[in-house]
Structure 1
Amino acid sequence: MPIEPLLILELAALGLATGFLAGLLGIGGGMIMVPFISAMLGVRGVAPGLAVKMAIATSMATIIFTSMSSVRAHHQKGAVRWDIVRALAPGIVGGAMVASLGVFSLLKGAALYFVFASFVAFSAVQMFRGKKPAASRQLPGTAGLLGAGGLIGFLSGLVGAGGGFVSVPFMTWCNVAIHNAVATSAALGFPIALANVAGYIVAGHGLHDLPPHSFGYLWLPALIVIASCSVLMAPLGARAAHALPVSKLKRAFAVVLIALALYMLGKGIAALGG
């Protein structure tokens, strides 16, 4: 079945917008992608519970591509703490697999709407306040980093995010310089995305009622178009950040995120009732 031209245009617009905003404001694209992808799938007859799962999985898959370009730029500046990446990665992969292969499949779609709405609302409040967590200690030992990695991978798998909403505050709390924390979080996005996407594909294999061009829980048209467009626009957004009042833009965008959180909350209530 051919892909409708209108769908390609919608996905391209979403990819351009998320890529630009990610570069401009340093936000994860999943906060925007998931509500819109779930709405696009809903219009095409996909049940709400399945739509939100596919939106979360597809959003996560785009991080595989966007993280590679981001990490390259950070690595060239020597900002990535690869020692932290190596220490957190095993826990991240384990937590991600538990989320994507187990909990994600077992949770009802309505519950995922509520989880995602809570995540977006929390991120919006943090963005509006503009506060950074106070640094108070050093990084924990091997067991502590394994546990922290597991939590980052698990939470990321439930909401389709790259983990920066947990890993950056964790690292800055442990006295890692903010520019190193952001760069290292970008590098962690790759194993987070890879492990979760593998789980989403296996968990969604053989499901009935999947829309055309699906691979497990992944919706391939959205993945290909959004990833291509967002990779193009992220550098432009990063450049614009130096010319625009980013702190004011973040507060304005936080209001938009609250609206998206309320939308997802409403969808969750509707799915619960259905």
Structure 2
Amino acid sequence: MEQMISFLPVALALMATGVVAGLLAGLLGVGGGIVIVPVLYYLFQYFGVDPVSAMVIATATSLATIVPTSISSIRAHHGNNNVDWVLLRWLAPFILAGVIVGSLLVARMGGTWLTALFGAIATLAALNMLLRGNAAPLAQDLPSKRGQGAMGAGIGCLSAMVGIGGGTLTVPTLTAFNYPAHRAVGTAAAVGLLIALPGVITMLVAGTVPTNAPLGNVGLVNWAGFAFIVPLTVLFSPIGARIGKRLDSAKLKKVFALVLAFTGIRMLLQAL
């Protein structure tokens, strides 16, 4: 009973994380992982988890939350014919290979370098939002098949290591090659599932529970966090979308990018 009472503040904080992630996903179209990972990272530390373990658990738990939300997103985008299944079939084995490598690195090594890597990716993502919103593409067509394979492996590996889905890296990468934005978003939803599902399985099998992990951990995944975050993310995402229709999404995205840049830089400094 005493343990359950002491867990109550953690449960409330996890529920708040799900609400924020859902609202931001609906408002701005950003992936949940880019929000969930830093929130869980600082939340677990607040409740007594050391920074190294907090980052590893946040990464694995974020990937777990992406599995159900990406399935829902895929169904919606497939209904609008926005998922490029031809491209996805070619990229899938390369993404899978990258995910397995990245997940094993997390499970076997962990460490503050994960925090630094997330900080760097978050900062770059924020700069991309701020500086390249209306920029011209870097190339007019996708690279060769070999180049696409390397692109898929890199996205899979980096995304698995920092607990993000397909959107953060896949969308800007595809649009940089003059790929239609709506198709990039839809295809990225499917990439998110290809990243999250094998990533979670690998971290469950290869990872061991950290000694100071919070209540609810199995392997590296905190299932209590999963249980509280996912339903609220799904519930509040359409609410965020409705609110976003009434607000200036471009300004909101800039504000979020600034917050994300601040968070990324802070995580970089903490890691270094």
Indicate whether the TM-score tops 0.5: yes
1:104 to 100, 103, 106: 106
CA pair 262-171 structure 1, distance change in 2 beyond 3 A: closer
1:95-134, aligned counterparts within 5 Å? 95-101=98-104, 103-129=105-131, 130-132=133-135, 134=137
Give the equivalent residue in structure 2 for 1:73: 76
Code of the residue aligned with 1:264 in structure 2: it is M
Deviation at 1:151, TM superposition (A): 0.8
Give the equivalent residue in structure 1 for 2:189: 186
| 1:56 and 2:59 correspond | yes
1:225 to 212, 223, 228: 228
Q: Is the 8 A contact 1:109 1:268 kept in 2?
A: no
Q: Is the 8 A contact 2:108 2:207 kept in 1?
A: no
Count of residues in Structure 1 that have an aligned counterpart in Structure 2: 268
In 1, Cα distance between equivalents of 2:136 and 2:218: 39
CA pair 207-113 structure 1, distance change in 2 beyond 3 A: closer
Give the equivalent residue in structure 1 for 2:39: 36
CA pair 26-206 structure 1, distance change in 2 beyond 3 A: closer
In 2, Cα distance between equivalents of 1:26 and 1:132: 19
2:202 to 195, 199, 203: 199
Code of the residue aligned with 2:207 in structure 1: it is G
Q: Is the 8 A contact 1:133 1:172 kept in 2?
A: no
TM score, norm. by length of structure 2: 0.91
Deviates more, 1:83-92 or 1:258-267: 258-267
In 1, Cα distance between equivalents of 2:52 and 2:88: 34
In 1, Cα distance between equivalents of 2:184 and 2:81: 12
Code of the residue aligned with 1:223 in structure 2: it is F
| 1:210 and 2:213 correspond | yes
Code of the residue aligned with 2:177 in structure 1: it is C
Code of the residue aligned with 2:200 in structure 1: it is V
Deviation at 1:173, TM superposition (A): 3.2
Deviation at 1:52, TM superposition (A): 0.6
Q: Is the 8 A contact 2:120 2:264 kept in 1?
A: yes
| 1:88 and 2:101 correspond | no
Deviation at 1:207, TM superposition (A): 4.9
In 2, Cα distance between equivalents of 1:122 and 1:174: 18
- The list of structure 1 runs, each at least 4 consecutive aligned residues, that deviate by more than 6 angstroms after superposition, is none
**Matched residue of 1:200: which SS?**
helix
In 2, Cα distance between equivalents of 1:206 and 1:34: 18
Deviation at 1:204, TM superposition (A): 1.4
Structure 1: gaps (5+ residues): 270-274
Aligned sequence identity (%): 38
Deviation at 1:82, TM superposition (A): 1.1
CA pair 206-124 structure 1, distance change in 2 beyond 3 A: closer
Q: For residues 213-250 of structure 1, give each alpha carbon's deviation from its aligned partner in whole angstroms, at most 9, with x where no partner exists.
A: 11111011111111111011112222333221011111
Give the equivalent residue in structure 2 for 1:169: 172
Q: Is the 8 A contact 2:139 2:178 kept in 1?
A: yes
